[in-house]
Structure 1
Amino acid sequence: MSDIWMKVILMGWDMLLNEAMEFNSRFSSSETKILVAGVGGAGCNTVNTLSALNLKGVDLLAINTDRISLERSGANKKLLLGKRFVNGQSTSGNIELGELIAESSIQEINQMLEGYDIIFVLAGLGGGSGGGIGPVVAQQAKRNKKSLVVSIVTLPFKAEGKRKMDIAKLSLEKFYQNSNTVIVLENDRLLNIVPNLPLEKAFKIMDYLVSDIIHNISEAINKPSMIHIDFADLMKIMKNGGTSTVMYGEGEINSIPELVSDTLKNKFYNVDHTTAEGALINIVTGPHMSLSMMNELVERLTEGMDEDSEKKVGIRIEEDLSTKVRVTAIFTNVKYLGMTREVSLVKEEAFSDIDSVFP
């Protein structure tokens, strides 16, 4: 039996919660500092969603070449790039141009990234800003060996064409090279989960999912919790997290099997989660969940994973949830069941229009 379960048995839920709150109060001055950097249109949209949540200890940074998009952003930090290249316009899907713009602005980017423990880099792939600038932002963030760099990226719909997917694959590989962990979400998975939802609302679901990942991680670290996840726990799971994915579910504490089944069906990336080398499970529930219910939930979610895999669990009690439970599970170093990571498959002609930008 692990130390944390023994502590729960000996102290009881209420005493453990009180101890956690006192601990968090004593160490509030050492709060984990988190930066969310949204790059390009999709990344900045998610930052706008996060801005309404007023997350404790989280700074929001919007990075874009599009001046109008940046002016509308709710981020508390903004960085307009590429003024001399595109004059406040978009990169028109050209990732080489996006990369060039980022590399010419290294100093400004680095100034925005200083002083953070965790840096999330958000980007939609297949375009020039998210796919070109995003990996450079991750690269600069990772230069600080003490920081954890987690990139959360979305792949385009296959219906958007092979060229766009090829560009996305190339950008994805660069994110892998420059991040501790890359959480990959496929827009095509929305077709399985909400096939009949209007397009705008479907995209909002992906936007809110990314926001929820960050929301849950930030609150698990910086809010009083019954079972606390700290920065060291995150580092252990995600420092070498590689390809990762997230699953999300909601249900009742008396229906754990159904909750787990629904959670594992809500895949936003075509992976086998049982191949994961690590799992970070955050549970938010009311005051009525028992120890056996919690144990069943965690065991069912991680069933099939190697017994030597790293697992971290955080639990936070919210009185108004009563018998409801929300679970967010991040699985790291997972095996992808779809496309390979062969960058050589990306055709050079996909980027043949670079000369048109610099005649």
Structure 2
Amino acid sequence: MPIGIDTTNSTGARIRVIGVGGGGGNAINNMISSGLESVDFIAVNTDAQALEHNLAKTKIQIGDATTRGLGAGGDWTVGQKAAEESITELKEVIKGSDMVFVTAGMGGGTGTGAAPVIAQTAKEMGALVVGVVTKPFLWEGNKRGKSAKEGILRLKEGVDALIIIPNQRLLEIIDNNTSFKEAFRIVDGVLLNATRGISEIISCHGTVNVDFADVKAIMSGMGDAIMGIGIAKGENRAEKATATALNSPLLDGVSIKGAKGVLVNITGGDDLTMNEIARAVSIVEQEAGEDTNLIHGVVQNPNMNEQIMVTVVATGFNQEETSVPEVETAVELNPKEKAKPIEIPFPKAPVAPKFPVSKVPRGFYHEKAGVMPTNLISSSPRGEEQLKKFDMPAYQRRGVELSVTTNTPENGEEFNNGLAELQYNGSTKH
């Protein structure tokens, strides 16, 4: 059921941000607390208690008959069913929207299941729909990661553009001592900047204005999108902020070159110069390529305190062979480098307790392949002649010379009985 509908924003394009589930609710709480203006916030959840603590003026508890306000229990099918059950209420708050942001943390129940339903509904009602979602950290488990991946695939069908924030990549930009709570606050901050970077150049009066039609041309039907954010101060701050945005971990090592559309938002204080704007846009344009449809907006914020922030959103990768890469493993390989063969070390032979044995000569195992040479792998003996060979000790059959040298206490070291050294006729065999 809807809880209060906020209709205060009536200037320009009507932009709504819908936070779905626990992660989406936390994200819009952070946006509201950070002073993001000129957008309407809507909190959607199956958890009635979570909605009570949300800062949004408009709140919808979905799936009352399905969940009785107790949440989806991590089951995305429950979240999907809840959204479908409350589709009338959802349409009521979406009605009249020019642009809808759908934000959620993927991998859980409500966000993963309901976000695709809400996005598809908004798109069918004529809104430009942008998804801004997170993928879980690896330590959150394989089940949650798999659920997130499936949810993202469903969400792609209902959005015009989809920005995926891989939480695992954020570990590269936070300190090792960052607390659990602070890490998720940083995640919410990235979601804030992604939403702000797009919405502010439409809704805020800036030095360079961009109308809604321009943004729609960049993002409508573009599919996969990537985003980078850079903040800098001091000398050459425009160049530094732009370079940081273009090399952001959020871009996952992907260049914006080849994108069909690029949106650049430059935010600075009253000291922001036209020359700095020109340099920032020029760097992005050079990186993107001359065939890219690039639009930029400039917003002046007196609270920037000598800082400049550059947000770059690139869209249209799914129209080419290039696509947004998935982050599935803890170890990331540079996509431009070829994979190198992995050498698998074999365990060393056990050492006799009283005779320290020197290392087996290199070549006993094949160095590169990491497997035993076939000539060292014996087969079952056959015939009388082969059986007779087993009357002699194994080291003699294999041509191994065993020499025992006894060290005296003259060198100041104590040995039990001596040092046994294995040799293959004095040479290493491969």
Shorter-chain TM band:
0.7 to 0.9
State yes or no: 1:112 paired with 2:112: no
Shift of residue 55 of structure 1? Answer: 4.0
Task: Give the aligned partner of residue 16 of structure 1.
Answer: none
Deviation per CA, 1:124-166, whole angstroms, max 9, x where unpaired? Answer: 1111100000100001000122x11011010011222222111
Structure with the bigger RCO (C-alpha within 8 Å, sep 6+) is 1
Distance 1:32 1:337 in 2: 29
Please list every run of 5 or more consecutive structure 1 residues that lacks an aligned counterpart in the other structure: 1-27, 342-359
Of 229, 252, 257, the residue aligned with 1:274 is 257
Aligned CA distance change for structure 1 residues 318 and 128 (closer, same or farther; 3 Å) = closer
Give, in angstroms, the shift of residue 177 of structure 1.
Answer: 0.4
Unaligned runs of 5+ in 2: 1-8, 329-430
Whether the aligned pair in 2 keeps the contact of 1:288 and 1:322 (CA below 8 Å) is: no
What whole-Å deviation, never above 9, does each CA across 1:92-139 have from its counterpart, x for those lacking one?
A: 111112111211221111111111111110111111100000100001
In structure 1, what is the equivalent of residue 404 of structure 2?
A: none
Letter in 2 for 1:276: A
Q: 1:165 to 1:294 in 2, by over 3 A?
A: same
**TM-score computed with the length of structure 2 as normaliser:** 0.68
> Is 1:262 aligned to 2:244, yes or no?
yes
Over alpha carbons, which structure has the higher Rg? 2
Amino acid corresponding to residue 244 of structure 2 in structure 1: D
Rounded to whole Å, the distance in 2 between the matches of 1:227 and 1:176 is 31
Deviation at 1:76, TM superposition (A): 0.8
> CA 1:303/1:126 → structure 2, altered by over 3 Å: closer, same or farther?
same
Residue type at the aligned position of 2:193 = D
In the other structure, the counterpart of 2:314 is: 331
Q: Higher helix proportion, which one?
A: 1
Alignment of 1:265-344 (within 5 A): 265-270=247-252, 271-319=254-302, 321=304, 323-334=306-317, 335-336=322-323, 338-339=325-326
Q: Deviations over 1:258-277 (max 9, x none)?
A: 32232223232423322322
How high is the TM-score relative to the length of structure 1? Answer: 0.81
% identity of equivalent residues: 31
Distance 2:73 2:305 in 1: 49
| Residues 1:99 and 2:80 are matched in the alignment | yes
**Residue of structure 2 equivalent to 1:212:** 193
**Cα distance in 2 for residues equivalent to 1:46 and 1:180:** 21
2:134 and 2:125 mapped to 1: Cα distance? 25
Equivalent residue pairs, number: 313
Aligned twin of 2:414:
none
Give CA-to-partner distance per residue, 1:43-68, whole Å, 9 cap, x none: 00111112224544311110000111
Match of 2:145 among 155, 165, 176: 165
SS of residue paired to 1:303: helix
C-alpha distance in 2, partners of 1:55/1:292?
A: 27
Task: Return the match for 1:143 from 124, 130, 149.
Answer: 124
Shift of residue 201, structure 1, vs aligned partner: 0.7
Q: Which moved more, 1:136-145 or 1:188-197?
A: 188-197
Q: Distance in 2 between matches of 1:112 and 1:272?
A: 37
CA distance in 1 between partners of 2:152 and 2:194 (Å): 19
1:232 is displaced (CA, Å) by 0.7
Matching of residue 47 in structure 1 with residue 34 in structure 2: no
RMSD across aligned positions (CA):
2.2
Q: Structure 1 residue 322: deviation in Å?
A: 6.5
Q: Distance in 2 between matches of 1:121 and 1:205?
A: 19
